[in-house]
Structure 1
Amino acid sequence: MTPTFAQVILPLNLKGTFTYKVPVELSSSIQVGMRVLVAFGGKKIYTGIVFDLHDEEPETFVPKEIINILDDLPILPKEQIQ
C-alpha cells in the first residue's frame, strides 16, 4: 500500500494530529516515526512527526501536502509514538 495521507503530530499547544497529503514522490519512503516538514496556518513551516499513514481522504477540507521528509529512517519507534 502506498499511503496517500499522513496524520502528523505538530509541536503546537493543540490536541490531536493533523492530516496532510503525501506527495507521490515521497509515498515510497515515508514511514511512521519520521520527521516531516509541513506548512501550518499562514506561512509557518513546522517539523512534525508522522503518527499514522492511511488512504482516508478528509471530507471537510483539502489537506496541504507534506513539503519534505527529514529522515532516512524513523527516529521514533511506533511504541513511543502511541
Structure 2
Amino acid sequence: MASPSITLVTVTPNPSALGQPVTFTATVTPVAPGAGTPGGTVIFVISGSGGGAFVQPVMGGVATLSLSSRGAACTRSPPSATAT
C-alpha cells in the first residue's frame, strides 16, 4: 500500500496563451510519518481540447507533462489540471 502524499501541480508558462506550449509539473511529497522519495505514476487530467488523462512516471518526486499547444476549448489561464 502506498503511503499518503500531497501533490502540488504547477503550469509554465503562467499565464499562457492559446496555442502556446505548456508544461505541467506535479511535485509529490510524502505526508508524515511517511518518508523517502515518492515514485510510481501521476495521472494528469487536463481540461479543454487537446486535454485528457495522461499517465506520467514520478522520478525523484516529480512528474512532468508537456503539451505542444494549449487548446482553444481551455478558457482558463492557467488551464485546469488535476493530478492523482
Does the TM-score normalized on the shorter chain lie above 0.5? no
Structure 1 or 2, whichever has the larger Rg, is 2
Q: Which has the higher helix share?
A: 1
- In the superposition, the TM-score normalised over structure 2's length comes to 0.31
- In the superposition, the TM-score normalised over structure 1's length comes to 0.31
Q: Which has the higher strand share?
A: 2
